[in-house]
Structure 1
Amino acid sequence: MATLKALVVDDASFVRDLVKRTVRQRFPVIETTDAQNGRRAQSLMSRTAFDLVLCDWEMPEMSGLELLQWMRQQPQYQKVPFIMITSRGDKDHVIEAVKEGVSEYLGKPFSPEGLSKKIIKVMGSQLKNAMERGSKSMESPADAFKESATLLTQKREPAPEPVAQSSPKSASPLLAGNAAPASRAPARASLTLASVRFSDSTLKSVIKDINLTEVRVLAKRDQAFPGILDQAVVDIEIAEGQMARLNGYVHQLQAVDKRQDTEFVSVTIRFVDEDPKKLEDLSRFVARFRAGSR
């Protein structure tokens, strides 16, 4: 049934699986192959012709930007759509990717709808024709074809202008408005702030505990909360002017107090990044955090 080929490139297997599942469910005519970094992707692309590349930016061995630069130098890939899917959404990085020939830019965490619309936008009639051929080859079109046909015929909204992300130190709902009583407020005298981004909201919070595999943050209940297993990107200032953007998913939600009217909720995010550089930066931050909490 599949007539088009897509390559999914990300060092986090959790993210690769999310992308592949979305593509498989929304576009049955696209067959997906995955790679854990740009070097592996380069090897696969040299042996197989792909119609679409969906790629992360920060990866070990070869970054997404380096893969894009190499790809645009290959005659067979000069016009193949390349979607950069990354937590690096600040304006400078968007501009840099555009200069190198990126087709579209999608920020993490993403929704299935957001990813689907980007794929439709960059593949255009090529995807539409493949979907029509796939639908006609079946006696009764499957739900996936019907859903994709609806997406293909929707009016496209203009893409929003990229907005530079601010440091999580700039504001915190935890520290503003009606402050919680001292007995129920986060215990650390010097708060370490974090922004936890989801596909449709951002949670302002303070870090309660962190290690190399997960972070536990506290957030006021009056914010929009995610669901279990939702994608997340945790923004932490690990050094002056240096941001870490850690990819993960929601592992646990728990009320801080055993009361229905508790003001604070504890959110545990499990990290999925496998980039050695990110893990090294995180390790240094964890050491400083633990030293400061003594």
Structure 2
Amino acid sequence: MAMLKALVVDDASFVRDLVKRTIRQRFPVIETTDAQNGKRAQSLMSRSTFDLVLCDWEMPEMSGLELLQWMREQPQYKTVPFIMITSRGDKDHVIEAVQKGVSEYLGKPFSPEGLSKKIIKVMGRSLKEAMDHSGKSMAGPADAFKESAALLTQKREAPAPARPNPEPAVLAPQPNASSAEKKPGTGKSAMSLASVRFADSALKSVVKDINLTEVKVIAKRDQSFPGILEQAVVDIDMSEGQMARLNGYVHQLQAVDKRQDTDFVSVTIRFVDEDPKKLEDLSRFIARFRAGKR
């Protein structure tokens, strides 16, 4: 029987399901409830009490930062752990979250191990006591608790600024590009660069095609490729110093050429964001991308 309660807040149902599944498998004493935005989370938190909040930053109606600020103003939530799970990992955003009272910061895409360690760190003795009382143990790597055992007896401090997930160097067009690089949609006149980040790696790539549902990128084969359904964050330069960070998952991997020794692989990322602002930014990029292909 669950003894602790966690609230998972994200506008993408795919991400909420990943977080809930990890908690269910590794921490059976934690019962999860989810909300698609900060407003819905605020309503749930006003009617019930939660022991842990795991929240996205960018959401419609109320952002994760606004929810955090409201939460710290409520007497019953002043000290409740709040983990910000977001693709925004730059130093300024981390500092802002720390100033508002965030307990920990986890970058997207994340691994189950990374999420588990953050939960162990912020929950401390309450989680250990609940696990001991239930007589249950975590599924997955058995030493996840051992690796973080010291954290359970240490005084909790404000998190150090997190390092953003690896930002790969862009795949710059080469003067002697192969025929694969010059295929329709990836020629120099239409080339748009994208950084695709995964939990443990990143791809240097160019955009082959994009719409509001998915993006197809072309990457050199000599890189480390993800598995199907793996989380991804696509960083797209929106010009004028603005960067769109779109959450998704790997839908398809396919050789560009019909031969075993092809040098290029096509990766299709399905988007999961439902934030109207992100969709608006994406629409502007698509218009510019298609205009460049004419």
What is the TM-score when the length of structure 1 is the normalising length? 0.91
Match of 2:145 in 1: 152
Amino acid at match of 2:114: G
Give the RMSD, CA atoms, in angstroms.
2.2
Deviations 1:90-139 (A, max 9, x none): 1110000000000000000000000000000000110000001111xxxx
Q: Answer yes or no: is the 8 Å Cα contact 1:174–1:220 preserved in 2.
A: no
Deviations 1:30-77 (A, max 9, x none): 000000000000000000100000000000000000000000000000
Q: Answer yes or no: is the 8 Å Cα contact 1:6–1:31 preserved in 2.
A: yes
Match of 1:280 in 2: 280
Cα deviation, residue 238, structure 1: 1.3
Q: Secondary structure at the match of 1:285?
A: helix
Match of 1:62 in 2: 62
Match of 1:189 in 2: 188
Counterpart CA distance in 2 for 1:235 and 1:43 is 32
Q: Answer yes or no: is the 8 Å Cα contact 1:186–1:218 preserved in 2.
A: no
Aligned 1:199-218 pairs, distance under 5 A: 199-218=199-218
Change (3 A) 1:157 1:213: farther
Identity over aligned pairs, percent: 75
Counterpart CA distance in 1 for 2:163 and 2:138 is 34
Q: Answer yes or no: is the 8 Å Cα contact 1:232–1:247 preserved in 2.
A: yes
Q: Answer yes or no: is the 8 Å Cα contact 1:51–1:80 preserved in 2.
A: yes
Q: Answer yes or no: is the 8 Å Cα contact 2:167–2:202 preserved in 1.
A: no
Q: Secondary structure at the match of 1:99?
A: helix
Counterpart CA distance in 1 for 2:172 and 2:58 is 31
Question: Which range moves more in the overlay, 188-197 or 106-115?
Answer: 188-197
Match of 1:172 in 2: 170
Q: Quick check: 1:88 aligned with 2:88? A: yes
Counterpart CA distance in 2 for 1:29 and 1:20 is 12
Q: Quick check: 1:23 aligned with 2:19? A: no
Q: Answer yes or no: is the 8 Å Cα contact 1:27–1:148 preserved in 2.
A: no
Change (3 A) 1:285 1:96: same
Q: Answer yes or no: is the 8 Å Cα contact 1:167–1:237 preserved in 2.
A: no
Change (3 A) 1:211 1:154: same
Match of 1:116 in 2: 116
Q: Secondary structure at the match of 1:76?
A: helix
Counterpart CA distance in 2 for 1:284 and 1:157 is 48
Amino acid at match of 2:69: Q
Counterpart CA distance in 1 for 2:176 and 2:161 is 35
Cα deviation, residue 148, structure 1: 7.5
Match of 1:138 in 2: none
Change (3 A) 1:130 1:155: closer
Q: Secondary structure at the match of 1:196?
A: strand
Q: Secondary structure at the match of 1:145?
A: coil
Q: Answer yes or no: is the 8 Å Cα contact 2:165–2:197 preserved in 1.
A: no
Q: Quick check: 1:291 aligned with 2:284? A: no
Counterpart CA distance in 2 for 1:105 and 1:152 is 19
Match of 1:267 in 2: 267
Match of 1:102 in 2: 102
Unaligned stretches of 5+ in structure 1? 136-140
Cα deviation, residue 180, structure 1: 4.8
Unaligned stretches of 5+ in structure 2? 152-158
Q: In the comparison of the two structures, how many residue pairs are matched?
A: 283
Counterpart CA distance in 1 for 2:3 and 2:263 is 52
